[in-house]
Amino acid sequence: MDKLAIIYTILLFVVYQIMFKITGFSINTAVYGLFGMLIFFYYSTDNLQLEKRSKQNPIFINLIVFMIFLFFYKDISIFTVFLVFSVYQKILYELLKKISYVKAERYSPNLINKRNLAKFLIDSISVIVGIITAFILKFSFNWYEYLRKEYVITYLGIFLVGYVYKKVSEKSWSYTNILDVLNILILNIGTAIVFLLFMYINKEHIFPVTTLLIILILSVSMQLLGRYVFRLKRYYGRPHKNIKDIKRTLIYGAGEAGAILAREYMTNPLFPYEIIGFIDDDKKKIGSEIYNIKVLGNKESLEIIIKNEKIEELLLALPSIHSSEIGRIVEKIQKFEGINIKTVPSISEILEGESLASQIRDVRIEDLLGRDEIVINDGSIRELIEKKTIFITGGAGSIGSELARQIAKYNPKKLITLDVNENDIYFLELELKRKYPNLDLVSEICNIRERDKLEFLFNKYKPNVVFHAAAHKHVPLMEHNPEEAIKNNIFGTKKVAECADKYGVERMVLISTDKAVNPTNLMGASKRACELVIEHMNKVSKTTKFMAVRFGNVLGSNGSVIPIFRKLISEGKNLTVTHKDITRYFMTIPEAAQLVIEAGAIGKGGEIFILDMGKPVKIYDLAKSMVKLSNANVGIDIVGLRPGEKLYEELLYDVNSAIKTENKKIFITKIEDGVVDITKYFDKLEQCIKNPNVEEIKKIMKELVVSYKEVKYN
């Protein structure tokens, strides 16, 4: 044992001996023997090793030892010794444990928490005062003749054992909630029951049951009163706010999220909003108050309330609301000039350990796009990822990096991200290692066109699953540089797939696009050719299941329309839209990544999965909403369609031919553009990229992808 353990043992023995003397027991060999047994049990369960986690609660050990003593001596006073000793032991243990941490230089805690000590004393006094008051009420001025010190010591001892071991003093009194009240009730009721049993066993003392009920009521009342005083101090004793430009604010939603915001407004002197009232669609709540803030009306009375109360800010405290409803609210509010709309994040976005008020943000365009929350099969994804080696090509891109984030949650054996963009893949590595310190992550700089490097990496890591997200995707650029789309998209996919087959990969998932459906541009045609490569490899491979996942635009991805619009708004420039009727499907990056992984899990090989993208959105309407949300003084310019650009994106050749899967947001499409043997075109495509000729490349691609048709708009 170290020095602290020896000191701990000596101090335990001192109080052990004192308690036996107070209760009238003589210190003999048996008493010393029982103490030796106690220390033996402490040692064997690591209760003397202050830097270790004990294997057994010491109160259980104390109970066993003192029960042995009771068995031999038949004296119920031993119970009092047990109670006092247990409380003392716990307090001493925690004190010496802190000293051991200081000694080990782990941290330097306060050895005695004055606030917790004060709580301990107040609650102890509450119990004692409750006992004395109960006897005064029962026996009037003769109360001291009936109250025995054994009653006080025993009752308080039982209470403190539960109090100390439940760490009641560590609970914040300023934030006492219904659960804390319930715990106090259980502690006091348990104390009363144990005390009554003790009195029943000890025939020498007769304790009136009515008095015990009075003690219970008074003791609980005084403990709760102390906590209520602290809450009142927190609510009404906060300093005056000195925040500049504080906004008169209305909270839409008088549910749990709204109540949290109201509570923080009452308690946080730096809360940046002046809460005027609530709006809620539940008519039963109208007129009621939450933390002294009134529910003023419902959505029908919203306009009147905004005018009468001179509201400047609206907080949407509706984390579970559907985005279509948010859109309707925003549209209604935008009629009023100068009204800022903010929202709390969705349930999936709320950060643990952070106050809800600190997470208030501006309403984003993503909130208005009508996307239902996705439900994934956690079990199938875990089976695909857990304890497996995972490859992600294009790991630094929008989809690739989000795939890495999602996969990291499922405890892969090893995660390898490949990309040519060294900066972005480096920052991704820092992010993942910070968030998942135990993740075995490797970042590799690799161009998927380089077969030798791919061979080396596949041979080195022997991946189980490959997600192929590396691709050129910008439509206008690929129209001007078609040979690059061929090199990177088609032959890059071919090389990755051949390596997957050669090195025994279990599954390879290609990230495709809606632009592969009836393509009108070379980028879309090249992605359809990638799908053909995957279909071919699935037919010839004996080891690997190949599949593709097709979806539309993802919100916030590199080069997508929303980041471009945001940049233009920030610069005070007009937004540019190519056509007033142009529509696109949109999906958030996280949900796209989740569905890709699940599709990879449920695939049996050869499928082209399509993701339910919801309803298509007009880019012009999107631009108008973004201008309104930002309160920016900018316009919208129609600039005409770009080369290869479609008015409408398609996810299927025939919607009715889609095959349902176990996930309602994932379908399998049947391709009906004929049977094409892509292997016959590899030589032709290689010749084209050696001597790039746009028209020649287009000619070959139209033969390969029979649905590829250039469309020109006036």
Known active-site residue 515: yes
Q: Which residues contact 310 (CB under 8 A, 6 or more apart)?
A: 248
SS3 assignment, position 668: strand
> 33-54 burial string, b = 16+ CB within 10 Å, else e?
ebbeebbebbeebebbbbeeee
Q: Which residues contact 534 (CB under 8 A, 6 or more apart)?
A: 493, 497, 508, 510, 546, 547, 548
Token digits of residue 343? 């929202």
d(CA 97, CA 50): 5
Catalytic residue (one of 515, 545, 646, 698): 515
Q: What angle do CA 98, 104, 108 make, to 5 degrees?
A: 50
Which residue, 513, 626, 617, 614, is CA-closest to 564? 626
How buried is residue 632: exposed, middle or buried, by Cβ count under 10 Å (0-12/13-18/19+)? middle
Contact indicator for 456, 496 with CB cutoff of 8 Å:
no
d(CA 289, CA 292): 5
How many other C-beta atoms lie within 10 A of the C-beta of residue 55?
10
Phi first, then psi: give them for residue 470, nearest 5 degrees: -75, 125
d(CA 437, CA 331): 44
Token digits of residue 683? 């030589």
Question: Which amino acid, residue 111?
Answer: L
Phi first, then psi: give them for residue 421, nearest 5 degrees: -85, 95
Q: Within 13 Å and on the Cβ side, how many CA atoms surround 437?
A: 0
How buried is residue 10: exposed, middle or buried, by Cβ count under 10 Å (0-12/13-18/19+)? exposed
Residue with tokens 């048709």: 709
Token digits of residue 686? 């290689």
Contact indicator for 285, 254 with CB cutoff of 8 Å:
yes
Scanning 172-208, the segments in alpha helix (DSSP H) are 178-201
How many other C-beta atoms lie within 10 A of the C-beta of residue 107?
8
d(CA 578, CA 643): 11
Residues constituting the chain:
714
Which residue, 537, 529, 545, 534, is CA-closest to 488? 529
Contact indicator for 534, 571 with CB cutoff of 8 Å:
no
Scanning 23-57, the segments in alpha helix (DSSP H) are 29-44
SS3 assignment, position 499: helix
Which residue, 80, 69, 34, is CA-closest to 202? 80
> Sheet holding 441-445: strands in order across?
441-445, 414-419, 389-393, 465-468, 507-511, 545-550, 608-611, 666-668, 659-660
The residues annotated as belonging to the active site are 515
